[in-house]
Structure 1
Amino acid sequence: MAKNLTFKLKSGDLMPLVGFGTYQIHGEELIRDVLDKALGAGYRLIDTAKVYHNENEIGKALKELLPKYNLTRKDIFITSKLSPQDQGDKAYEALQHSVHNLDCEYLDLFLIHWPGAFGTNSASNNNSKLRDRSWELLVQGVKDGLTKNIGVSNYNVKHMRAILQKNHGIIPAVNQVEWHPHYHQADLKKLVDKEGILLQAYSSLGGTNNPDLLTDKTVVEISKQLGKTSAQVLLRWSLQQNIAVIPKASSQKRIEENIKLDFVIPEEDMQKLSSIQFQNKYAWDPDTIA
């Protein structure tokens, strides 16, 4: 099953290619319920962020649920992210807070969530200075054992080239970006592949409460041919490009379906999905950030 697929990061750590996203999932009871279902279905990567406001609930739920599935801390991969509010000198302290909130000893991956800084004009060069300072402090966080790996999110080619040039001794392990047949950047994929950086997709199924991607004619046609759901086809499309995915769901059925990706989309159909003419970005646009 897809739950066994992993990517070897530069640190040597194995990162699951299929993880469980927790954006917009709130409340102690709901968090516990969905993580119970996710762990039972085989997910071993949990993705969160400070701005999701659920780190505490996730930490508490994992403490309770891991023993239920005979798992320990080392059996799961926990990702969190630096808030734009903490970009710059606050980055190290923010990393400490995420580890504390999740009550998990260390993080497996900590990402700079956004290339811009809260309260800084998007066109200002201060954005690049602040994210460079964040990276410098997160490199120290790796050395101090707060997180095993560090990476970025929503970085475009320009942002990636800058951090590769001035990396303070560690290049990003992961770049988490919006990626689906309606929006994908070939130049970004080429750059990260060359550097051995893993792309991880978010919004794989389209925008929140926006069915355009799931009901896309080409997606639906291929899903019917393969006897799979539209969501499964979209997730598998990324996986076959060696791009990790973090689908979010709350129902048992969807949670289980989203990890059952042990099928192959024929190359002809992969090309059809990659060549869909309709293009639409469903999430925030990092190209506005200097």
Structure 2
Amino acid sequence: MAQALDPDVSNTMCRLNNGLSMPSVGLGTYRVRSPEVIMKMVDEALSAGYRLFDTAAVYRNEGHLQKAFTTLLPKHGLDRDDIFITTKLSPADHGSPDAVKKAYNQSLHNLGIDYADLYLIHFPKAPKYTNDDKRNTELRHSTWSGMVELYDNGLVNSIGVSNFTVDHLTQLMKVNHRVVPTVNQVEWHPFYYQTELLEFCKKNDIVLQAYCSLGGASMNSDELLNHPCVTKIARKLEVSNAQVLLGWALQQDIAIIPKSTTPEHIRQNIALNFTISSEDMLILNDLGSQKIKYAWDPSGVV
């Protein structure tokens, strides 16, 4: 059943299971490594109302974001506490609590901040092990212990995971049921979504946050973005194709972090004050029969 969205989506928040709130819409920064481009996109995003910015150690742009925040927050009359910053532990930094803390501190240094609002395990395995190596499970649990230690010590506001399956989450919660991940950030779009994962996350009060909401757009594939079904719905609603795909996720209570470096698109991607009908939601859901995945695949990781 489609829901009516908040008329001002920039103010819509998700409640995390630790009582904190996270903006439902944020700006992704994957593959953006030009300091000039990041300065312009953050400026445009702050002006449009974005307050969540998503990065990761492996994106190699945390330092550029530091410069953008230092320059632009005062320009927009904002402080550090007015924005929500997410970064992620590199798969290469899985390991002991000390290893996790070292990696986290490096990200804080890069970003020029005292704390992250959300710190995620980027992927459920380290590069040194193959997918079927049972040591992945042990390493994942050690890494999560390090994340929990950061959280317990008040060094980070929230912790979560990315690219975790139902099995990975179940294993993690059996070992440490006291601190449940607040967020699971995964690939999610009409070509590729997992109803079982969404139901599991909702049942366990874990916010599902989508990346690749526009399909393979960041990989130069516009197959989903320009799909005839998406175009037809966009014309009916008088919105862009991208807005349809983002609205489809939001109407399932899924947070989104669309990336764009184009001012017009940055503004459109947070202007989601429309409702997709139940019938059109089903049409978009039916595209999932194609099961086209564009990003990292965690399904084979034990």
Short-chain TM bin? over 0.9
Answer yes or no: is the 8 Å Cα contact 1:139–1:168 preserved in 2: no
What is the rounded CA distance, in whole Å, between the counterparts of 2:114 and 2:100 in structure 1?
18
Shift of 1:167: 2.0
Cα deviation per residue 1:45-72 (whole Å; 9 max; x = unaligned)? 0000000000011012101110111111
**Of 183, 186, 199, which residue of structure 2 is paired with 1:177?**
186
* 1:24 is the counterpart of 2:35: no
- Per the alignment, residue 222 of structure 1 pairs with 233
Within 5 Å, which residues of 2 pair with 1:77-88?
A: 77-88=84-95
- Per the alignment, residue 213 of structure 1 pairs with 224
Cα deviation per residue 1:211-247 (whole Å; 9 max; x = unaligned)? 0110112111111111111100000000000000000
Answer yes or no: is the 8 Å Cα contact 1:139–1:169 preserved in 2: no
What is the rounded CA distance, in whole Å, between the counterparts of 1:96 and 1:133 in structure 2?
18
What is the rounded CA distance, in whole Å, between the counterparts of 1:26 and 1:225 in structure 2?
36
**Of 263, 272, 285, which residue of structure 2 is paired with 1:274?**
285
Shift of 1:273: 0.7
What is the rounded CA distance, in whole Å, between the counterparts of 1:117 and 1:278 in structure 2?
29
Within 5 Å, which residues of 2 pair with 1:66-145?
A: 66-89=73-96, 90-145=99-154
- Per the alignment, residue 57 of structure 2 pairs with 50
**Of 254, 265, 270, which residue of structure 2 is paired with 1:259?**
270
Cα deviation per residue 1:84-119 (whole Å; 9 max; x = unaligned)? 100112212111111111111100000000001121
* 1:284 is the counterpart of 2:299: no
Cα deviation per residue 1:13-56 (whole Å; 9 max; x = unaligned)? 11000000000111222211111111111100000000000001
- Per the alignment, residue 5 of structure 1 pairs with 12
Answer yes or no: is the 8 Å Cα contact 1:99–1:146 preserved in 2: no
> Would you identify which runs of 4 or more consecutive aligned residues in structure 1 move more than 6 Å?
none
The gaps in structure 1 that reach 5 residues or longer are: none
AA of the residue aligned to 1:252:
P
What's the TM-score, normalizing by structure 2? Answer: 0.94
**Of 240, 248, 251, which residue of structure 1 is paired with 2:251?**
240
Q: Which has the higher contact order (CA 8 A, sep 6+)?
A: 2
SS at match of 1:253: helix
SS at match of 2:53: strand
What is the rounded CA distance, in whole Å, between the counterparts of 1:168 and 1:71 in structure 2?
37
What is the rounded CA distance, in whole Å, between the counterparts of 1:129 and 1:213 in structure 2?
37
Shift of 1:145: 2.3
Identical pairs, percent: 46
SS at match of 1:158: helix
Aligned-pair RMSD on alpha carbons?
Answer: 1.0
What is the rounded CA distance, in whole Å, between the counterparts of 1:81 and 1:175 in structure 2?
12
AA of the residue aligned to 2:295:
A
Answer yes or no: is the 8 Å Cα contact 1:92–1:134 preserved in 2: no
What is the rounded CA distance, in whole Å, between the counterparts of 1:182 and 1:32 in structure 2?
32
Answer yes or no: is the 8 Å Cα contact 1:83–1:112 preserved in 2: yes
What is the rounded CA distance, in whole Å, between the counterparts of 1:181 and 1:168 in structure 2?
32
**Of 125, 146, 156, which residue of structure 2 is paired with 1:147?**
156
SS at match of 1:287: coil
The gaps in structure 2 that reach 5 residues or longer are: 1-7
Shift of 1:168: 6.0
What's the TM-score, normalizing by structure 1? Answer: 0.98
Cα deviation per residue 1:130-172 (whole Å; 9 max; x = unaligned)? 1111110111111222210000000011111111211263100
- Per the alignment, residue 5 of structure 2 pairs with none
SS at match of 1:66: helix
Size of the alignment, in residue pairs? 290
AA of the residue aligned to 1:229:
S
AA of the residue aligned to 1:266:
S
